[in-house]
Amino acid sequence: MATKNNFEPQWINKAPKKGSFRSIFKYGDPNGFKHPNTKLLDELKQKFNLSDEDFKKKETTGNELVDLNVESKLSIAQVEKFIEICGKENVSSKEYERLKFSSGKTIEEAMQLRVGVVNKITDLVVHPRTKIEISEIVKYCDQHKIPVYVYGGGSSVNFGFYPEKGGITLVLSTHLNKIVKFNELNQTATIEAGIMGPAFEELLNNAPKYYGSKHEFTCGHFPQSFEYSTVGGWFVTLGSGQQSSYYGDAGDLVLGVEMISPSGTITTKNYPATATGPKILDIIKGSEGTLGIVVELTWKIFRHQPKNRQYFSFIFPTWEDAVNASREISQGEFGMPAVFRISDAEETHHGLKLYGIEDTIFDKLMKARGFKPMQRCLFLGTADGDKQFAKNIKSKVKTICKKNGAMNLTSYPVKKWEPGRYKDPYLREDLMDYGVLIDTLETSVNWDNLHEVHQKCRNFIKSRPDTICMTHASHFYEQGTNLYFIFIIKENDIKAYREFQEGILDQIEKSGGSLSHHHGVGRMIAKWMPKHLGENQMNVLRALKQHFDPNNIMNPGEQLGL
């Protein structure tokens, strides 16, 4: 067992070198870091049987400069055309740029880039300035059968914009990042698809200043990738934020869109509800770039009332107790918590370390009252909305949790969790420097198969020797929830890693979970789609694809299993 000492690995604390591979795969802010704390490091050492020595020399860093020589399949005339449409400064054929905008945030890509392995990259990076330019680009690409990929914020964890067929990659966030229309009466903001989360939220929070509105607003959507993803990306991948139990998933939050496709432009209307046949908006939801390019969205906005927010945390004797309480809350018809998150025993074990609860007065109290490590389960929650409404939720949650054997941990743990909630992905680079991989897969379940899916997937993950598996549920509905598996392993063989990942996806599918709750499909889980949805449903998707994109230029190559 690792002994406690003052040793700390030399975590990288500087922004990656300009032009390096690391500058491409590193998550988020180049100057953003979150190092594993001592408790976590001790756990890892113990788990993987490592010593301080193993954390003295980095296995890989990806600090090498990108130096590729990959030919472009586009002709000079074609490149000229894109320059003509978007201007020279908005078109790049440099290899570094091409690699950067071809790379998402899967572990597999990071593993490869760390050792300089590059697969397919886009032929040209284009930063369109207007939707008219996008329309011209799509038309031209359709005529010349040039594949079109769209880069949102680059946080895809499933090869969602991987340029399988080459062609061009459009970067929407460079120019198409504004609120086009702010409508306080309707509580909507019409935005260009490339706007990033923080910019959008800042404008809404300060709407009185920017738009002369009476109220401040919030977008209500806070995925872990919030800081590095675009609103258009949230929608087309059916994302889900950390407060979704109250605000809804990204698919629920969009009232209307404009999408440019080879078969023409669709502009749906912004009615709050209609009965005029199947809604084209619903077809665009989750289309992941395969049908066309969403260029504009009308987003439902909410009052920004942080003063009303209620915080609460509980510890349950077991996972079953936490699940039972969560179901009662979800079906209680008193409104839903915003943050609503239960961790299974193993995640609780690590979470208590990570949020600094271990060895505090809370920890002592928990132990004294018989909440045993590796059995007890943490519940974190907040309530938003009107103050009385939020207070009533807190009071009901408290009653239900107590009824299910929980102890009140006050607001302390959730307030410890909240400020760091976007930071956990930063741990990844530090750990990978020493060959430790941290990755996630996720599913949705109904209440009646939650335990089966959890147990089977967890059993599979844990069947691999020396593997940490933490699970939480964090998006709740009357009819069920999601399960989010975080696994940490020591591995440097890509093939072995991929096999392990595929094994987990197999388990998710076989045990009856959904293939994805909110990560989307991309290319990573594409091959499970026909079995999961059935051929008849796949045929509907294929028919839509054929209609919108007969020449297969929109995000072609296995995306969505098409």
**Of 86 and 297, CB closest to its own copies:** 297
**Of 121 and 301, CB closest to its own copies:** 301
**Of 102 and 240, CB closest to its own copies:** 240
- Per DSSP, 65 falls in state B
Listed residue (180, 178, 179, 177) closest to 194, CA to CA: 177
**Of 174 and 399, CB closest to its own copies:** 399
Q: Which backbone phi and psi does 461 adopt, to 5 degrees?
A: -60, -45
Give the span between the Cα atoms of 403 and 419, in whole angstroms: 30
Instruction: Quote the least distance from Cβ 203 to its own copies, whole Å.
Output: 19
Instruction: Quote the least distance from Cβ 382 to its own copies, whole Å.
Output: 14
As a dihedral over the C-alpha atoms of residue 248, residue 530, residue 455, residue 399, rounded to 10 degrees, the angle is: 20
Give the span between the Cα atoms of 448 and 455, in whole angstroms: 13
Instruction: Quote the least distance from Cβ 190 to its own copies, whole Å.
Output: 12
Instruction: Quote the least distance from Cβ 112 to its own copies, whole Å.
Output: 25
Instruction: Quote the least distance from Cβ 413 to its own copies, whole Å.
Output: 25
Instruction: Quote the least distance from Cβ 546 to its own copies, whole Å.
Output: 8
Give the DSSP H or E segment for 455. helix 450-463
Give the span between the Cα atoms of 105 and 24, in whole angstroms: 9
Instruction: Quote the least distance from Cβ 456 to its own copies, whole Å.
Output: 16
What is the distance in angstroms between the CA of the first residue and the CA of the last residue of the chain? Answer: 49
**Of 140 and 447, CB closest to its own copies:** 447
3-state helix, strand, coil in the chain (%, to 5): 40, 20, 40
**Of 75 and 539, CB closest to its own copies:** 539
Give the DSSP H or E segment for 192. strand 188-192
Q: Which backbone phi and psi does 91 adopt, to 5 degrees?
A: -130, 130
- Per DSSP, 424 falls in state G
Helix (H, G, I), strand (E, B) or coil at 389: helix
**Of 33 and 302, CB closest to its own copies:** 302
Provide the 10 A C-beta neighbour count for residue 449: 14
Give the span between the Cα atoms of 326 and 408, in whole angstroms: 15
Instruction: Quote the least distance from Cβ 282 to its own copies, whole Å.
Output: 4
Give the span between the Cα atoms of 363 and 98, in whole angstroms: 50
**Of 105 and 532, CB closest to its own copies:** 532
| Range list of H helices, 206-296 | 207-211, 231-236, 244-247, 280-284
